[in-house]
Amino acid sequence: MKTRLWLMAGVAVAVAFAYGCKPKGAQTAISGDAASKVYVAPGQHDEFYNIVSGGFNGQMSVMGLPSGRVLKILPVFSVHPENGWGFSEETKPMLNTSHGFVPWDDLHHIAISTTNAEHDARWAFGNANNTPRIARVDLTSFKTVEIIEIPNSGGNHSSPFITENTEYVVAGTRFSVPTGNDNDRDVGIDTYKDNFRGTISFISVDKDHGDMDIAFQLEAPPFNFDLARAGKKKSHGWFFFSTYNTEMAHTLLEVNASQKDKDFIMAVNWKKAEEYIAAGKGKKVPVKYAHNKWDESTHTATSTIRTEVLSLDPRELKDIVYFIPCPKSPHGTDTDPTGEYIIGSGKLAAIIPVFSFTKMLAAIEKQDFEGNIDGMPVLKYESVLHGEVAKPGLGPLHTEFDGKGFAYTSMFVSSEIVKWNIETLEVVDRVPTYYSVGHLSIPGGPTGKPHGKYMVAYNKITKDRYLPTGPELAHSAQLYDISGDKMQLLLDFPTIGEPHYAEAFPASLIKDKQVKFYKLEENNHPHVLKGINDARVERDGNKVHIYLTSIRSNFRPDNIEGIKVGDEVYFHMTNLEQDWDVPHGLAIKGANTAELLVMPGETATLKWVPDRTGVFPFYCTDFCSALHQEMQGYLRVSPAGSNTPLKFSTGIAE
Amino acid sequence: MKTRLWLMAGVAVAVAFAYGCKPKGAQTAISGDAASKVYVAPGQHDEFYNIVSGGFNGQMSVMGLPSGRVLKILPVFSVHPENGWGFSEETKPMLNTSHGFVPWDDLHHIAISTTNAEHDARWAFGNANNTPRIARVDLTSFKTVEIIEIPNSGGNHSSPFITENTEYVVAGTRFSVPTGNDNDRDVGIDTYKDNFRGTISFISVDKDHGDMDIAFQLEAPPFNFDLARAGKKKSHGWFFFSTYNTEMAHTLLEVNASQKDKDFIMAVNWKKAEEYIAAGKGKKVPVKYAHNKWDESTHTATSTIRTEVLSLDPRELKDIVYFIPCPKSPHGTDTDPTGEYIIGSGKLAAIIPVFSFTKMLAAIEKQDFEGNIDGMPVLKYESVLHGEVAKPGLGPLHTEFDGKGFAYTSMFVSSEIVKWNIETLEVVDRVPTYYSVGHLSIPGGPTGKPHGKYMVAYNKITKDRYLPTGPELAHSAQLYDISGDKMQLLLDFPTIGEPHYAEAFPASLIKDKQVKFYKLEENNHPHVLKGINDARVERDGNKVHIYLTSIRSNFRPDNIEGIKVGDEVYFHMTNLEQDWDVPHGLAIKGANTAELLVMPGETATLKWVPDRTGVFPFYCTDFCSALHQEMQGYLRVSPAGSNTPLKFSTGIAE
């Protein structure tokens, strides 16, 4: 009975914080110049690329700012029937994992590569929250070129945040889980505190090519790791992770993980970890994880399974990990452009604590600790604190920076954004959001060089903001002008999937570096055709290889006979065009697969195992010319064992 | 050699028409008020819903006009990992066909339901071009509620156009194919003229519930059927289909199907067909096609296979089909708001012919024929012609109407839109498009009551219109103000997939009829839970049913043990919320499936067969409250044959 009463009290508190209130007061007036500020006239380009996470769609969206237009949905972790991602033979390995093909994931955060803590925009990284992985997107081709799985992780939420020269991408477990081999993992859930572990992975990124590798994993207590930010400039060499459920509850976390007044920001000295590794202190642990790589030369992916990881135990290897107490259930942890300040946003806290990196180092130096967790020091809150932002609002989640000395914190529960002075901690402005804002994003906002012109609020509740579309609504974003003293709401724009975080950067960084098409002479696909005269069909046992060319407005060959029910038919299609924006598609009428969408100079393969006889048209799916409707062919499928000879024609020889 | 020379000449002609030219002259100046005309201020709503086909993504997009914002991607024919469409047990049957589950299709055209030739906007219909099907979307829930397969069809392009009271949705074969049973279909491609057939299907729509049924199929010559429009008002009872490849070529159609100076518009008197059916003249033909239906009460779909269709042969049943000669390879065929004029857009023609329905009836009455096709009369071009629009531009494709006496025709090759007077046939305005415009869409444009305020051009080539995103670019649309004498370009907006056609209608038609959530007391799902106390886990052999509730911010049960490797685990999740815009998601960490996204009051089921031991977190994928991160549970999987007892907890009883 006592338990039940206590539980109800807990729930009441949670309810007050959890349900999100409409902001008070009337709709903010939109000043007359907002229309012209967001309007990008036909023929003009947006000023910023905005790479937006798709959340539960598993992809990234590329948007323009200030227009808020969706320039592309870029497939990463989920199958994308639209362009054959996960359906073509070439892309299937990209979605492979240590336990097979996974068609979906939940991409939460974006990190754009940096050099000297400034965006260089060579790559965009995204995390898979569900099957723990990190993806790397090449920002000259806007293509996912690498995916690496994270072993020993039960979810990958505090990821893919990066260090200032993109030395590392990190990945912290959101949920702790039993690790080790199969038998070790089959344990009672109520043995949580004994058998469950967290891990923090540091994934190295090759400076020249971007290739990722798991450099090391840190063992961690069975907390939930939520978000993270690297130190920068003066704090380069450190990484800061927010934790919640330091209560180590395993059931009804809504109540049981909201008990303590303070959880922690976990500070990691990764330079120290590197020293231990150099000294041979790491331990190789057997694991199984997939590493998938796209080859831009062969236009194919490979998936390899790796079998060990280097593990460091900071319980034994001192001075890697320190805990900073932080009120209450911190969600975001963010470092300011100077690297001096670390802001913890406790979603159940009434203030925003700002920690000083300088004070942290001093406290470590002085061993100014209030205790330890498994031997890892807990610093004293007051010793590390720069100060607290008083009465910021309800439910602080995330903080971004404008490079002019101000921080902007999203307030989920009170649905507002609060602007405050990082030095004085004084709140200088606040605006409502519609509704229940999650992440904020300022172009360059998490780097050492923010472009403090626009801010986007990614809201979690949409309700009446757009024409209603039944029970399921788009998630909504709002664009603010932050160039002046006061924030000005400019535009509401709907988004794709559920954007959590986004990073934006000046278009000038990559606009002129874009790949427009692939050079045919550089295409090293094993089944490439370099011209129409190479088009042919070959049988190899029950495998039939159709070497197909597409160029406006025909396929060669376009009549194919002698395919049998049960054959494995591979359509290897090369798009011979050598111009920008002339894709050709391929679909087989009535096949139980998706299409291919093949860019100029590229080769891709669609596999189909016919299950019935007939004559099956195939056609180009992308309206490519005035005679696009004529771009078709026929494939005849005869019964298994029948005598119909293999035969193909190109329309020329007849 | 002769063949080759001839071929090259043919190709040269094709090239001139096919490649799409940049419009001449400089960028049209954008007048200063364009920004304010397209700006929809935060808190305001768009004036029109625009339902846009997704082309090769297989879905529909819901956009707002004039803002051009994407309000929703609505899954129809392709799997949609984002919300579990095609992955949940309830939705899998929606993508079933006569030959199994198909994960993708190519949705080309939209038809919004009408009464008396005006939009009533009860339903949106879309066609699957690849595996021939028609889908119906309920516009109060924006959900695909029915999909019907079309047998005897090799592609379904001239579809889903409708009659003026939505009596029928039509579906004409794009590619003719051998029909009949398995053996009949295994024939040589070079026997095209003898063995290949076209079909035109008329699908009835239940006036009250929208349920579709194939009322009858018309046999047709082996032409390619491209697009279609119903007659309306005075021409109600007739349907007009454009044809190409009346040469009946089966290879290199780019050349071989561009030989004749005139193809046909096929006029179908469907009232006459109804008379024959009433008189028992139809023939039941054995076929196999799937009919899939969503039940809004049980929140589940069923798929049934149907086995016959009523066939009419217009070679024998006179006065159903007439052919109107139409220059050259007509793509669009469109009927004006009065129903008097039928416009054929011959993509290789130098003029636009406008036919008169009154003259057509008179010519039929007088038997003013120039020949016949298999006994079906070919009318004389001059006898049916109202007149020709002279020098409209190059590559006319589609025509829409403003209700003020003007027609607007898209010119693919010369990249422009031409406005002309329907009575006088005089060209009164022309504007460039960027680039290579396909369909046009005016709100209400294909109905008897157009809203002649805006026009959208759906362009086929994008190139430099937006910030570049590698080789693969979004398709682009352009919004024009057509309220004045001259068309004014207002906005470029990128789109999702490859929009072919779109239909827009005033938001007021459906805005207040939207379902905001499902009433829990009306939820008749076989595994619904009406409250948290019903949460439980039950084993039935190797099937485990987890009856799960979700409500901010917890799952019940949230700890589950006793699952074995190889079990079929069904998560039946009911979202207990009863408020707008509070979905909950469900994902199992590391499972090889997608997520569930469950609307308030709805129940959905995710199946997972665990392939390894461990403790697997599950969590809510949609940020639902300040304690969303705490909305999680654990599922323990033990080895097959182990003794771990089935056990679950809700956090309450402990």
Looking at the predicted structure, is the pLDDT value of residue B25 above 90?
no
> Is A1 inside a domain boundary?
no
* A4, A594, A623 member nearest B103 (Cβ): A594
Residue A437 shares a structural domain with residue A555: no
* B252, B412, B498 member nearest A622 (Cβ): B498
CATH code of the domain in which B169 resides: 2.130.10.10
Judging contacts by C-beta atoms under 8 Å, the chain A residues touching residue B18 are 552-553, 625-627
Q: What is the distance in angstroms between the Cα of A234 and the nearest Cα belonging to chain B?
A: 32
> If you average pLDDT over residues B342-354, what whole number do you get?
97
B232, B238 in Cβ contact below 8 A?
A: no
Query: Which residue in this structure is represented by tokens 């003898």?
Result: B194
Looking at the predicted structure, is the pLDDT value of residue B604 above 60?
yes
For all residues of chain B together, what is the average pLDDT?
Answer: 94
Among A255-259, B177-181, B229-233, B252-256, whose mean pLDDT is lowest? B177-181
A466's tokens: 């757009």
Residue B486 shares a structural domain with residue B402: yes
Answer whether B469 sits within 8 Å of A594, measured CB to CB: no
> If you average pLDDT over residues A290-297, what whole number do you get?
98
Looking at the predicted structure, is the pLDDT value of residue A14 above 50?
no
Closest-CA residue of B relative to A492 is: B42
A604's tokens: 């891709």
Closest-CA residue of B relative to A397 is: B626
> Is B7 inside a domain boundary?
no
Helix/strand/coil for B617: strand
Residue B499 shares a structural domain with residue B526: no
Concatenated DSSP letters of A444-466: TTTSSS--TTEEEEEES--GGGS
ipTM of the complex: 0.95
pLDDT of residue A316: 97
What percentage of chain B exceeds 70 in pLDDT?
A: 94
Strand partners, B608: B569
Residue B283 shares a structural domain with residue B329: yes
Q: Which residues touch A560 (CB under 8 Å, ≥6 apart)? A: A537, A546, A633, A634, A635, A636, A647, A648
Among A286-300, B101-115, B171-185, B459-473, whose mean pLDDT is lowest? B171-185
My answer on whether omega of the bond before A160 falls inside 30° of 0, hence cis, is: yes
B415, B436 in Cβ contact below 8 A?
A: yes
> If you average pLDDT over residues B104-109, what whole number do you get?
98
> If you average pLDDT over residues A445-472, what whole number do you get?
98
Answer whether A492 sits within 8 Å of B43, measured CB to CB: yes
Residues B320 and B313: their CA atoms lie apart, in Å, by: 9
pLDDT band at A179 (very low <50, low <70, confident <90, very high): confident
A224, A174 in Cβ contact below 8 A?
A: yes
> Is A20 inside a domain boundary?
no
Judging contacts by C-beta atoms under 8 Å, the chain A residues touching residue B40 are 492
> If you average pLDDT over residues A623-647, what whole number do you get?
96
pLDDT band at A1 (very low <50, low <70, confident <90, very high): very low
Closest-CA residue of B relative to A180 is: B614
Strand partners, B619: B587, B632
Residues A457 and A128: their CA atoms lie apart, in Å, by: 22
pLDDT of residue B26: 38
Per-residue pLDDT reduced to its tens digit, B502-552: 999 999 999 999 999 999 999 999 999 999 999 999 999 999 999 999 999
Of A491, A512, A533, the one marking the end of a domain is A512
Q: How many domains does chain A have?
A: 2
For chain A, the first-to-last Cα distance in angstroms comes to 89
If you ran DSSP here, which 8-state letter would residue B570 be given?
Answer: E
Residues A507 and B353: their CA atoms lie apart, in Å, by: 47
- Cβ burial, residue A367 (10 Å; 0-12/13-18/19+): exposed
Residue A590 shares a structural domain with residue A494: no
> Is B555 inside a domain boundary?
yes
B627's tokens: 């304690």
Q: Which residues touch A439 (CB under 8 Å, ≥6 apart)? A: A332, A397, A398, A410, A458, A499, A500, A501, A502
pLDDT of residue B84: 98
Residues A154 and A163: their CA atoms lie apart, in Å, by: 23
> Is A12 inside a domain boundary?
no
For chain B, the first-to-last Cα distance in angstroms comes to 88
Of B491, B513, B535, the one marking the end of a domain is B513
Residues A74 and A445: their CA atoms lie apart, in Å, by: 23
* B64, B251, B493 member nearest A558 (Cβ): B251
Residue A441 shares a structural domain with residue A532: no
> Is B41 inside a domain boundary?
no
Answer whether A395 sits within 8 Å of B626, measured CB to CB: yes
* Residue with the larger pLDDT of the pair A295 and A12: A295
Looking at the predicted structure, is the pLDDT value of residue A59 above 90?
yes
Q: Other CB atoms closer than 10 Å to residue B153's CB: what's the count?
A: 29
CB pairs under 8 A between A and B: 514
pLDDT of residue B28: 46
pLDDT of residue B459: 98
> Is A551 inside a domain boundary?
yes
Answer whether B514 sits within 8 Å of A470, measured CB to CB: yes
Residue A117 shares a structural domain with residue A137: yes
Domain that holds residue A533: 522-649
Residue B449 shares a structural domain with residue B572: no
Residue A541 shares a structural domain with residue A613: yes
CATH code of the domain in which A611 resides: 2.60.40.420
Looking at the predicted structure, is the pLDDT value of residue A474 above 90?
yes
Which of B2, B632, B646 to probe the A interface (max A CBs under 10 A)?
A: B632
Pairing of strands A212-220, A300-312: parallel
Looking at the predicted structure, is the pLDDT value of residue B651 above 90?
no
For all residues of chain A together, what is the average pLDDT?
Answer: 94
Closest-CA residue of A relative to B600 is: A471
Q: What is the distance in angstroms between the Cα of A573 and the nearest Cα belonging to chain B?
A: 17
> If you average pLDDT over residues A384-407, what whole number do you get?
98
> If you average pLDDT over residues A172-185, what whole number do you get?
89
Residues B137 and B234: their CA atoms lie apart, in Å, by: 29
A310's tokens: 């280097």
pLDDT of residue B180: 81
Helix/strand/coil for B22: coil
Question: Position A499: which residue type?
Answer: P
pLDDT of residue B99: 95
Strand segments, DSSP code E, in B9-158 are: 48-53, 60-65, 70-74, 96-97, 100-101, 107-115, 118-128, 133-138, 143-149, 154-158
pLDDT band at A652 (very low <50, low <70, confident <90, very high): low
* Residue with the larger pLDDT of the pair B522 and B13: B522
Residue B497 shares a structural domain with residue B539: no
Residues B7 and B11: their CA atoms lie apart, in Å, by: 6
Concatenated DSSP letters of A605-618: EEEE---S-EEEEE
Residue A399 shares a structural domain with residue A362: yes
Helix/strand/coil for B126: strand
Answer whether B175 sits within 8 Å of A632, measured CB to CB: yes
* B57, B621, B639 member nearest A82 (Cβ): B57
> If you average pLDDT over residues A481-492, what whole number do you get?
98
> Is A183 inside a domain boundary?
yes
Helix/strand/coil for B292: strand
pLDDT of residue B32: 62
pLDDT of residue A55: 98
Of B481, B513, B545, the one marking the end of a domain is B513
Q: Which of B142, B443, B318, B448 is nearest to A467 (CA)?
A: B142
Answer whether A70 sits within 8 Å of B494, measured CB to CB: yes
Answer whether A626 sits within 8 Å of B140, measured CB to CB: no
Question: Position A552: which residue type?
Answer: R
Helix/strand/coil for B494: strand
Residue A491 shares a structural domain with residue A593: no
pLDDT of residue B182: 74
Answer whether A587 sits within 8 Å of B130, measured CB to CB: yes
> If you average pLDDT over residues B14-35, what whole number do you get?
52
Per-residue pLDDT reduced to its tens digit, A335-389: 999 999 999 999 999 999 999 999 999 999 999 999 999 999 999 999 999 999 9
pLDDT band at A180 (very low <50, low <70, confident <90, very high): confident
Closest-CA residue of A relative to B133 is: A590
Per-residue pLDDT reduced to its tens digit, B351-393: 999 999 999 999 999 999 999 999 999 999 999 999 999 999 9
Q: Which of B574, B465, B572 is nearest to B518 (CA)?
A: B574
A412's tokens: 């989920």
